[in-house]
Structure 1
Amino acid sequence: MKTTVNLRSVGAVCAIAILLLASGCKRHGKTSFSPFSPSTPDYTLDLQPLVSAKTMPTLHWPDFSDYQPMVQKFYDDRKYDLAWTKDGKPTPQAIAFVQAIQNVAAKGLNPEDYDASLWTGRPQQLSEKNPAALAQFDVAMTISVMRLISDLHIGRVNPQHFNFEIDSASKKYDLPQFLTDKAIGAADVPQLLASVEPDSEVYRQTEQALVHYMDLAKQQQQANADPLPMVANPVSQGGSYPAAQELWQRLQLEGDAGDDDAPKTYNKALSDAVKTYQSRHGITDDGRLTPQTVKSLNVPLADRVTQLQDSLERWRWLPDPYLNARLMVNLPEFVLRGYNEEHTLDFTMKVVVGKVKGDHETPVFTHMMKYLIFRPYWNVPVDIAKKELVPHMEANKDYLASKNYEVTNNKGVVLPNYTVHQVEHAMVLVREKPGPGNSLGLVKFMFPNQYDIYLHSTPETYLFNRTRRDFSHGCVRVQKPDGLAVWVLQGQQDWDLDKVQEAMNTGPDNHQVNLKKQLPIVIFYLTAIPAEDGKTHFFDDIYGYDAALQAVLTKGMPYPKAPEPVIPKTKPGDTA
């Protein structure tokens, strides 16, 4: 019998065999059949070990374990096709990202976090005949770009690491998808980077201030001037200060003094310039040259640069609903700002914040204001009752009644009889009755949170005359509570000033008024801020939050991404 051979079938079998051999025996530089790049070399074997590792020795910060799953997904999705080179040379986008990295200090970031000094030499090592170098370049670029995009968008450190209640993680990008869709083919890399930053005018003004102060710090360093001599006692206008000319030159550097020649005495012009400087630095602005003023003037401008960098970091933490919040308290400034719906400033108001000493620091967090309470009770926290009330009760059994306090059980029923032992061991609760002498004043503004922190009025109005105002147990006392209540309740029934003041002075006790539209509020911490007068203002790091941030950043990458466990408040009572 004669056998007939089907040549078409033989050809098909041979083609399948060739495909199987090609897919099963990949080698460096050989042609692959990737759907991404049908006729380009296959770098899978060069990329995979780099991508699967959690460290890369050629990086400035070799440990990229926090980004490794995203780097892996990026290359998995693109079938291990190179992203940042073509024909053995960097793509225009890679070159643009390197240029952006070189200039990233102007955005308050550390260029070395993204290998700034290492990128110059890397392209010189590239060649189509050196697949290992191409793979190294590609992965290093991917890691650097991911780090840069993330840091500009949500900041370097998770704010919850510091027990701040700010959910920056909620606005994270899908970085592999972001790089694929927007970065590797970007037509305008600077515009792309600007788009990932906070869309806030104050943030952009802070970036501008940073660039200005970086230049001033460079000028100061080049001048290498001696620190101004300290004063033992304040120097007033007409007084004597031997370094008057040097003081004038220092004030000229930041624009607090004019272009006139330096005076030889502490005259009116010098006193006015000092007053301008004081108003920008949270110092009593009386124009007298005090020890505090000289100490502030001697702070290197490089330190002011760091303060602006810290401010930019915190702006990046804010979720979108709070980026342009209607209400913002800046703790080290002791100021509350209110904005309209177009985020134009409506008012500023002095506030009193938590004491530096005694573990009463006001925390940083975001929340929604939901309601007001007129003529509130103050439910005294157990630790305050134990520390501040019990000693007086031991000396005077009628102390609580004489100070307008009453004692209740856990259901709010007033108890006519109680003991010091019961108060000390939280077997009963103490509360201060409503009225003008109540520690919370006559109204409190509620945004329920784990810290039990809120805004409220106060009978201790004299504290608003102080320049430094950290006197509370943690809550924020407001200077003009009636005006704030009218502003918060605007457009809601007929809550004008007369009605608000009536509710505060003669209305029912513990009267709750819910807001029809909740207001986003940010309790924030900026020791450097471009203010409404067009000048940059600086404040003391009263709580050490800047120092804590710098301590983390100094250690280098990877920065803390996962939050530290937060210990919620468990004891009853209201912070005051």
Structure 2
Amino acid sequence: MPNFRSFTAALAACACAFLPGGLLASTGAPAAAPWLERPAALGEPLSAGDIDALRRLYARGEPTLRWFDAAGRALPVTAEALALLAGAADEGLRPTDYRAETLTRAIEEVATLAGADVPATPDRAAALGALDVRLSLAMVRYLRDLHLGRVDPRQHGWKRRPARAAFDEAMALHEALVAQRLAPAVQALRPTWPAYERLRAALPALRAQAAQERLTLLPGFKPSLRPGEAHPGAALLHERLRFLGDLAADAPAPSEPAVYDPAWEPAVRRFQARHGLNDDGVIGPSTVAALNVPLAQRVRQVELALERLRWMPHTAGQSLILVNLPMFRLWAYADSAQASVMDMRVVVGRHGKDATPSMMEDLRYLVFRPYWNVPPNILRNEELPKIEADPAYVLRQNKEVVAGPADRSPVVAFGPEALAGLRDGSLRLRQKPGPGNALGAVKFMMPNDEAIYLHDTPSRSLFLRERRDFSHGCVRVHEPAALATWVLRDKPGWGPERVAAAMKDDAPPSQHVMLDRPVPVALVYLTAWVEGPGMGLRFASDVYQQDAPLARALERRRPG
């Protein structure tokens, strides 16, 4: 890496090429202004947002420089800034994105020259001004990345960018510099989600453990390995469980190395539960696959989860329903900054074209005993072929043809004309409320362009599956009555008994209940998670294959 003298020479050469003639020679005092007038002289590509933030930062500041005093000595807050940039990995960010090492060495050289009482020159003044701006640039980018994330969510599973409050990184940095303390600003800009802080806290230990790992892959156990059964790979299983912490470090060595000791079964079940597997203690293909994942990959999953949580709006103090898509799990929070009050299994959209998108929308009303209005793509691709092969299918499935979008739209007798209307889109197919209705007894409506919502289902057996991506995109909930009761807890007259009555087969159809206060619903994609204090890291498979593209995007070094 270049030392400060070569750094000075390079910046001075750039200055001669880009800055107005005579500007450097006119004074030996360090200044940031010339570099803001000609940002290209910094020798690093800057976005329009970078340039705007820097100009606003220096326009607000009384001192000519923000990180050095008039004599060129670094202010105390400068060391704090360098420590934050060097420790960016603690937030799942990359110190190289902020030139942490280069800036640290250059500022150390500044301190050396200042201590040696080397006379000021225009070139040294210019280089110091550039160094001041470059440290400001690094901190502006760091604060922006910490608060909003590094990449655009719309390229990674979101249909549109989540709504966020306006963020002024220049003002945030300016206020921190006035106070000469960066830590409070950084804390205020971190995501307020409890899972973020728990994942962040778990990351250093996981990294240290990954650095110690010498992974020997477990063999496949065909078809499976049960407690008490013999297999040559059983000793590797014991070793892996101890290394991962699911089996106590002081657990005795196996007396029969080639046998799956029943004493290990609780550790196997614990491992399975942490990885979203059926915790039956049986070592099958999915458990072996999870045991063979290197911890370096688990570290990356935590880093990706931290990035995705940075995309989310801050919702502290609000009720929240959170669905983690790859974990097939829903949590409800009375306050999103506190522990969850409810969790349950869910079924999400199938991998591929039916994948459930990430989004954050407001749950505004419930519909008890709803009609299922068959979406056009399902009608075209699935329903019409069945109807054409067997006209009795419509009646048998408790479906009907209607003319119009409303619940009270007139019903059209099924026949050749109705079939033609379904084909050309002038008529609509719907399923009447009842035991076999695809939406079950209640749906939870959060109006959005993707027509995604939460709902009950008659297909209860799917909740017992390990992998639960079976729907056309909507989210099926395992305990709809409990969720409805919680959502309506502040609605007068809507206790558990009334919810249960509204879901009965003899209850009125299509009963709409508006919420007095909308509840945010977050559909998120996090393959690493910590739900509560002391609960440990949980991991999920990358069912929608979204981790690898995001990892590649984050690996791309920032231009310049």
Structure 1 length as normaliser, TM-score? 0.84
| C-alpha spacing 1:389/1:169, structure 2 compared with 1 (3 Å) | closer
Q: After the TM superposition, which of the residue ranges 230-239 and 126-135 deviates more from structure 2? A: 126-135
Structure-1 separation of matches of 2:61 and 2:163: 26
**Is contact 1:214-1:305 (8 Å) kept?**
yes
Paired letter, 1:28: L
Q: Give runs of aligned pairs for residues 116-127 of structure 1, distance below 5 A.
A: 116-126=100-110
One-letter amino acid matched to 1:378: W
Are 1:477 and 2:491 counterparts? no
For 2:418 and 2:528, locate their aligned partners in 1 and report how far apart those are by CA, in whole Å.
50
Change (3 A) 1:539 1:323: farther
Does residue 521 in structure 1 map to residue 515 in structure 2? Answer: no
Change (3 A) 1:165 1:394: closer
Residues 318, 437 of structure 1: alpha-carbon distance in 2 compared, 3 angstrom cutoff: same
Q: List alignment gaps of at least 5 residues for structure 2.
A: 1-19, 114-119
The whole-number CA distance in structure 1 between the counterparts of 2:200 and 2:318 is: 17
C-alpha deviations, 1:75-125, integer Å up to 9, x for none?
A: 344488221122223222122111111111111111111112312321255
Distance 1:496 1:319 in 2: 31
Q: Check conservation: 2:441, 2:457, Cα contact below 8 A.
A: yes
Matches within 5 A, 1:177-192: 177-182=171-176, 184-192=177-185
Separation (CA, whole Å) in 2 of partners of 1:509 and 1:92: 68
Kindly provide the CA deviation profile for residues 174-217 of structure 1, in whole angstroms up to 9, marking residues without a partner as x.
222222222x2444333432221022322211111112211111
* 1-structure distance, mates of 2:433, 2:309: 38
Equivalent positions of 1:481-500 (< 5 A) are 481-500=480-499
Equivalent positions of 1:332-371 (< 5 A) are: 332-341=326-335, 343-357=338-352, 359-371=353-365
What aligned pairs does 1:149-164 form with structure 2 within 5 A after superposition?
149-162=143-156, 164=158
3-state DSSP of counterpart to 1:68: helix
Structure 2 residue aligned with 1:74: 57
Q: Aligned pairs, how many?
A: 518
Go from structure 1 to structure 2 and tell me whether the alpha carbon gap of 1:413 and 1:88 turns closer, same or farther (over 3 Å shift).
Answer: same
Kept after mapping to 1: 8 A contact 2:365/2:444:
yes
In the alignment, structure 1 residue 274 sits paired with structure 2 residue 268: yes
Q: Match of 1:350, SS?
A: strand
Partner of 1:550: 551
Give yes or no for contact 1:28–1:43 (8 Å, CA) kept in 2: no
The structure-2 alpha-carbon separation of the partners of 1:520 and 1:553, relative to structure 1 and needing over 3 Å to count, comes to same
Query: Pick from 287, 296, 305: which aligns with 2:290?
Result: 296
Match for residue 229 of structure 1?
219
The more displaced of 234-243 and 419-428 is 419-428
Give distance in 1, aligned partners of 2:135 and 2:199.
Answer: 28
Contact 2:501 2:507 (C-alpha < 8 Å) held by counterparts: yes
Cα shift readout 1:402-454 (whole Å, capped 9, x = no counterpart): 21111112352211143433322312111111112100011101111111111
Gaps of 5+ in 1: 1-23, 32-39, 560-576
Instruction: Within 5 Å, give how 1:413-492 maps onto structure 2.
Output: 413-416=410-413, 417=415, 418-492=417-491
* Native 8 Å contact 1:322 1:522 kept in 2: no
In the superposition, relative to structure 1, how do residues 101 and 298 fare at CA in structure 2: closer, same or farther (>3 Å)?
same
User: Within 1, Cα distance between the matches of 2:178 and 2:239?
Assistant: 50
2:191 corresponds, among 181, 198, 211, to 198
Determine helix, strand or coil for the equivalent of 1:345.
Answer: coil
Once residues 285 and 250 of structure 1 are traced to their aligned partners in structure 2, the CA distance between those partners, rounded to angstroms, is: 17
Alpha-carbon displacement from aligned partner over 1:210-269 (angstroms, at most 9, x marks no partner): 12211111111xxx3422223332111111232333322221222100121332221112
CA distance in 2, matches of 1:84, 1:431: 66
Cα 1:163–1:234 change in 2 (3 A) is closer
Q: Cα–Cα, structure 1 residues 340 and 43, in superposed 2: closer, same or farther, change >3 Å?
A: closer
The residue aligned with 2:212 is 219
Query: Structure 1 residues 96 and 453, CA, compared in 2 at 3 Å: closer, same or farther?
Result: same
Aligned to 2:237: 247
1:320 alignment partner, one of 291, 314, 320: 314
Q: 246, 253, 258: which is aligned to 1:262?
A: 253
- Structure 1 residues 233 and 101: alpha-carbon distance in aligned structure 2, compared to 1, 3 A threshold: same
Assess if the C-alpha contact under 8 Å between 1:96 and 1:189 holds in 2: yes
- Aligned residues: percent identity? 34
Cα distance in 1 between the residues matched to 2:530 and 2:52: 39
TM-score, normalised to structure 2, is: 0.87
Cα separation, 2, equivalents of 1:326 and 1:141: 38
**Superposition deviation, residue 496 in structure 1:** 2.1
Structure 1 445/114 Cα, relative in aligned 2: closer, same or farther at 3 Å? same
Aligned to 1:19: none
Q: Identify if the C-alpha distance between structure 1 residues 90 and 363 changes in structure 2 by more than 3 Å, giving closer, same or farther.
A: same
Q: CA deviation at 1:63?
A: 4.4
| Structure 2 residue aligned with 1:109 | 93
2:12 — aligned with what?
Answer: none
CA shift, 1:147, in A, is 0.6
How much has 1:27 moved relative to structure 2? 4.2
Q: State the alpha-carbon separation in 1 of the partners of residues 170 and 549 from structure 2.
A: 31
Distance 1:516 1:48 in 2: 51
Q: Is the 8 A contact 2:463 2:478 kept in 1?
A: yes
Which residue is 1:308 aligned to?
Answer: 302
Match of 1:18 in 2: none
CA distance in 2, matches of 1:49, 1:125: 26
Q: Say which one has the larger Rg.
A: 1
Secondary structure at the counterpart of residue 443 of structure 2: strand
- AA paired with 1:534? M
Counterpart of 1:197 in structure 2: which amino acid? Answer: R
Question: What SS class does the counterpart of residue 341 from structure 2 fall into?
Answer: strand
> Which of 29, 32, 35 is equivalent to 1:47?
35
